[in-house]
């Protein structure tokens, strides 16, 4: 199952998703790594949004050119949208891919990841285990 994030800023019923292949392509066209993007080293602004849309929405726009995405972004901004909303949604889609771990992916997709205190204790290697285990 593709882990996707709703992305209905350009048209209804759309979603953005990234997998390893798409993340590698995003790194290639952006010239930076996903890790650096997450650390704030390039994952903001128009260029990031344009490149991430080209990759994360490719399944919706098979023949789209960069100019097509520029037009979609401009139209969205004309309708009182803002670039930060697009940045956040695309960032969530990258996180939802699982590249930063399952728990982060679940949080990005809005799934409840709260563990009970007992579950956390059970998995904590620093908590002493009873002799019977």
Structural domains in the chain (count): 1
pTM here?
0.78
Contact 106, 113 (CB under 8 A): yes
pLDDT higher at 38 or 25: 25
Closest residue by Cα to residue 72 from 5, 1, 8: 8
Q: How many CB atoms lie within 10 A of CB 118?
A: 8
Averaging pLDDT over each range in 65-69, 118-122, 123-127, which range is the top one? 65-69
Within a domain: 100:
yes
Within a domain: 37:
yes
Give 6's strand partners. 15
Within a domain: 129:
no
Within a domain: 89:
yes
Share of the chain above pLDDT 70, in %: 78
Enclosing domain of residue 35: 4-123
Q: Supply the pLDDT for residue 126.
A: 63
Contact 90, 50 (CB under 8 A): no
Within a domain: 128:
no
Within a domain: 59:
yes
Within a domain: 133:
no
């Amino acid at each position: 199952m593709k882990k996707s994030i709703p992305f209905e800023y350009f048209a209804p019923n759309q979603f953005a998703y990234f997998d390893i292949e798409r993340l590698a392509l995003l790194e290639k066209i952006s010239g930076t790594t996903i890790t650096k993007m997450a650390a704030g080293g390039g994952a903001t602004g128009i260029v990031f949004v344009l490149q991430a849309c080209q990759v994360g929405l490719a399944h919706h726009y098979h023949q789209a050119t960069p100019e097509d995405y520029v037009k979609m972004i401009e139209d969205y901004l004309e309708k009182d949208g803002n670039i930060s909303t697009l940045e956040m949604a695309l960032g969530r889609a990258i996180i939802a891919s699982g590249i930063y771990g399952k728990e982060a992916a679940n949080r990005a997709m809005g799934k409840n990841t709260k563990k009970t205190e007992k579950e956390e204790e059970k998995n904590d290697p620093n908590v002493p285990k009873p002799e019977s285990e």
